[in-house]
Amino acid sequence: MSFLLTGATGYIGSRLARRLAHAGHRVHVVVRPNSSLDSLKPILNRVQLHTYDGTAQSLLKLFTTNQIDLVIHLASLASVTHSLNNFESMLQSNIVFGTQLAEAMLIGKVPYLINTGTFSQHYNNCDYNPQSLYAATKQAFDDIILYYSEATSLHCTTLELFDSYGPFDPRPKIIPLLIQAYRDGKTLAMSPGEQQLDLVYIDDIVDAYVTAAMRQLQGRTAKLERFVVATNQPITLKQVVEQLERVTQSRLPIIWGERSYRMREIMIPWNKGKQLPDWQAVTSIEEGLKQSVFATDDD
């Protein structure tokens, strides 16, 4: 099959691009002119790059000159906080770009889209309560997709992601920060640590996207669907650290309670979502942490 990925230079997107390329699929990737391609180095000779210049026309050219079976939309500007300096970029990345993509897909006659949502759209376990402006922009694009699914031929499956982790993760997220503290021995100031996390290993997340894509291509979906990609086994941050200490057989240099919880900290992850059919997380937290800490090959 022929897939188009946005966000393929990010951690999850690059892992998905590798999986699809290794499986023999044709992989097209949308990049910005200044995008770093380091995460795609192992498969650069097996993917086709397309430059997005900020216009819908550049996306339309892609669809009219290439055969694309399905689009997987991972690109976003994700941040728990925002400022006067970055909120316009967030709107551009999370709303405008996605709408341009949907419009170009229609004209290019590409009917299948896998979209990416976030559990942070459900603060306090609500059906909708955005934890942050980022979460609100994801919801705004959901509403735009609702229009396209109702009024056009577009089919969309949205996967709501929870906390992700895995080997060689460059993002400043909690697991990479803990692993770095283990490796360099520098003290890490933490909150009291009672917030719960639903941590999903990167290979399981990639499996979810592949499963969702095949469901669409095989005609086993409704026009608009929404599923969670979760273990449904949340554990507290303190328990995560205990697991990592067992895996590494060392004491992590953490000071609990040195920092306050973030504003609108999610203490209990959303637990009302519908699980993606034909998929489940199979990697235990212990095994996932072992792979994250001790993996030696990033190919």
Say which residues have a Cβ less than 8 Å from residue 79's Cβ, sequence separation at least 6. 86, 90, 132, 134
Average pLDDT, the chain: 96
- C-alpha 48/C-alpha 288 separation (Å) is 31
Question: 174-196+233-269+282-294 maps to which CATH number?
Answer: 3.90.25.10
Say which residues have a Cβ less than 8 Å from residue 111's Cβ, sequence separation at least 6. 105, 153, 154, 155
- C-alpha 46/C-alpha 20 separation (Å) is 10
- C-alpha 85/C-alpha 90 separation (Å) is 10
Beta bridge partners of 116: 159
Tens-place pLDDT, residues 248-262: 999 999 999 999 999
Please report the sign of the dihedral spanned by the C-alpha atoms of residue 155, residue 117, residue 73, residue 291: negative
Tens-place pLDDT, residues 92-142: 999 999 999 999 999 999 999 999 999 999 999 999 999 999 999 999 999
Whether this model's pTM surpasses 0.85: yes
- C-alpha 109/C-alpha 63 separation (Å) is 8
Write the DSSP assignment of 59-108 as a string of letters. HHHHHHHS--SEEEE------SS--TTTHHHHHIIIIIHHHHHHHHHHHT
Percent of the chain with pLDDT over 90: 95
Please report the sign of the dihedral spanned by the C-alpha atoms of residue 215, residue 218, residue 220, residue 224: positive
* pLDDT surpassing 90 at residue 174: yes
| Band of pLDDT at residue 83, cut at 50, 70 and 90 | confident
Going by DSSP bridges, is the β-strand pair 26-31/224-229 parallel, antiparallel, or unpaired? unpaired
- C-alpha 97/C-alpha 107 separation (Å) is 16
Q: Which residue in 66, 64, 29, 35 sits closest to 48, CA to CA?
A: 29
Buried b (16+ CB within 10 A) or exposed e, 18-49: bbbbeeebbbbbbbeeebeeebbeebeebbee
* pLDDT surpassing 80 at residue 55: yes
* pLDDT surpassing 80 at residue 227: yes
The residues spanned by each domain of the chain are 2-165+198-229, 174-196+233-269+282-294
pLDDT in the model for residue 41: 95
Mean pLDDT score, 219-238:
96
Total Cβ atoms within 10 A of residue 70:
23
- Architecture per CATH, 2-165+198-229: 3-Layer(aba) Sandwich (3.40)
Say which residues have a Cβ less than 8 Å from residue 165's Cβ, sequence separation at least 6. 173, 174, 175, 176, 199, 200, 201, 202, 288, 292
Q: Which residue in 57, 49, 42, 67 sits closest to 5, CA to CA?
A: 49
* pLDDT surpassing 90 at residue 182: yes
Going by DSSP bridges, is the β-strand pair 112-118/188-189 parallel, antiparallel, or unpaired? unpaired
